[in-house]
């Protein structure tokens, strides 16, 4: 059993899955359990689009993007979210597509807010996110799906969401096609990062993870990420890693070495694109006022079901 635990350790750390759930997947004796990549390009694209939409949320919990657990297969991705109404509200608001009513936008990508083509439907006790006509889906679990429906009913009159439209709208088709032609945010690295999102969580009560295009590469930022040696193993050449190479490092982790400044900075190189990923960990979550955090969460949970009332 200790050996089996070691073989699932890095995947458990990266996904939040339990050893009991992963043990049956240990089919090759002595080899650590890996994390499968998405099989279809459309699946990669949907996961990357979701990551870039949701990482803007920030957070008030220990779960980055509000994700408690990830279960990846080559066919789909299942995400267990934190069962807090404010988390579900943010996901619905940031993900669901709607027209941008700003008359000043001209690029097709800017004419849609949210993920173009995204639709949802109930699936048992979960919620399926999909794009009509495409072999891609993400299943959300861990909360009452009625919360999602109730929140969408609140948001639709004000935002004009497309969720009740069965097929793609012309605006969404144009936005999706235009986004595929851009090279700023390739899908594969960030689909893979979403499948390992728990690797970016640190020991503090707040774990926000954000990413955006920067200086010809990408910026990856955590509010209170893990010790840098752990992150480097989990995203680098560890058993479940992405093969990211460290190009530069300035780190204040106590388990590594200490400087007089605050925060950690690591520059990675992503091998599939050759682009640099500029990672920084602010460690600001460790100074959080917990009483105020809980009060804020209570207020936000109430507001999630009170929109438009």
Per-residue pLDDT of the chain (309 residues; tens, 9 = 90+): 678 999 999 999 999 999 999 999 998 888 999 999 999 999 999 999 999 999 877 678 899 999 999 999 999 999 999 999 999 999 999 999 999 988 888 999 999 999 999 999 999 999 999 999 999 999 999 999 999 999 999 898 889 999 899 999 999 999 999 998 876 678 889 999 999 999 999 988 889 999 988 888 999 999 889 999 999 999 999 889 999 999 999 887 765 444 445 678 999 999 988 999 999 998 765 556 778 888 889 999 999 987 543
Q: Same domain, yes or no, for 155 and 52?
A: yes
Q: Are residues 166 and 71 located together in one domain of the fold? A: yes
268 contacts 192 by C-beta, under 8 angstroms = no
The SS3 of residue 129 is: strand
3-state secondary structure of 201: coil
Using CB atoms within 10 Å of the CB of residue 109, give its burial: 0 to 12 exposed, 13 to 18 middle, 19+ buried.
middle
| 172 and 207 in a common domain | no
pTM for the structure as a whole: 0.93
Question: Could you tell me if residue 239 is inside a domain?
Answer: yes
Residue 292 located in a structural domain: no
Of 185, 202, 229, the one marking the end of a domain is 185
Domain match, 177 and 250 both:
no
Say if 128 falls within a structural domain.
yes
Which residue among 157, 185, 213 closes a domain? Answer: 185
Distance CA 137, CA 134 (A): 8
Say yes or no: 104 and 170 in one domain.
yes
Q: Is residue 299 part of a domain?
A: no
Tell me: do 230 and 125 sit in the same domain.
no
Same domain, 62 and 158: yes
Q: How many domains does the chain have?
A: 3
DSSP H helices in 129-281: 145-159, 170-181, 187-194, 228-235
Query: Same domain, yes or no, for 238 and 255?
Result: yes
Domain encompassing residue 266 = 191-287
Residues 94 and 37 in one domain: yes
**What is the Cα 206 distance to its own chain's centre?**
15
- Do 37 and 170 share a structural domain? yes
Give yes or no: residues 126 and 195 share one domain: no
Any domain includes 304: no
In a domain, 97, yes or no: yes
Structural domain includes residue 295: no
Q: Are 254 and 279 within one domain? A: yes
Q: Which two tokens stand for residue 49?
A: 């689009």
């Amino acid at each position: 059993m200790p050996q089996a635990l070691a073989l699932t350790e890095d995947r458990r750390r990266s996904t939040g899955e339990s050893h009991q759930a992963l043990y049956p997947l240990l089919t090759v004796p002595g080899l650590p359990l890996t994390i499968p990549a998405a099989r279809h390009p459309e699946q990669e694209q949907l996961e990357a689009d979701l990551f870039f939409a949701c990482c803007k949320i920030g957070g008030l919990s220990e779960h980055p993007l509000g994700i408690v657990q990830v279960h990846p297969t080559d066919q789909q991705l299942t995400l267990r979210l934190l069962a807090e109404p404010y988390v579900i509200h943010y996901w619905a608001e940031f993900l669901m597509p709607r027209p941008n009513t700003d008359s000043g936008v001209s690029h097709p990508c800017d004419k849609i807010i949210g993920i173009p083509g995204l639709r949802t439907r109930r699936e048992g006790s979960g919620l399926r996110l999909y794009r009509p006509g495409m072999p891609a889906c993400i299943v959300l679990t861990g909360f009452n799906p009625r919360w999602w429906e109730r929140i969408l009913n609140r948001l639709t009159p004000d935002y004009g969401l497309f969720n009740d439209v069965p097929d793609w709208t012309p605006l969404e088709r144009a936005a999706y096609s235009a986004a595929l032609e851009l090279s700023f945010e390739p899908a594969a690295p960030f689909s893979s990062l979403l499948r390992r999102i728990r690797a970016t969580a640190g020991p503090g009560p707040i774990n926000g993870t954000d990413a955006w295009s920067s200086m010809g590469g990408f910026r990856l930022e955590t509010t209170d990420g893990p010790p840098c040696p752990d992150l480097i193993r989990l995203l680098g050449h560890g058993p479940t890693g992405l093969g990211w190479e460290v190009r530069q490092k300035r780190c204040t982790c106590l388990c590594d070495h200490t400087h007089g400044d605050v925060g950690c900075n690591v520059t990675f190189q992503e091998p599939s694109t050759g682009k640099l990923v500029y990672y920084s960990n602010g460690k600001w979550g460790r100074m959080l006022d917990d009483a105020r955090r809980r009060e804020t969460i209570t207020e936000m949970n109430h507001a999630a079901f009170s929109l438009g009332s």
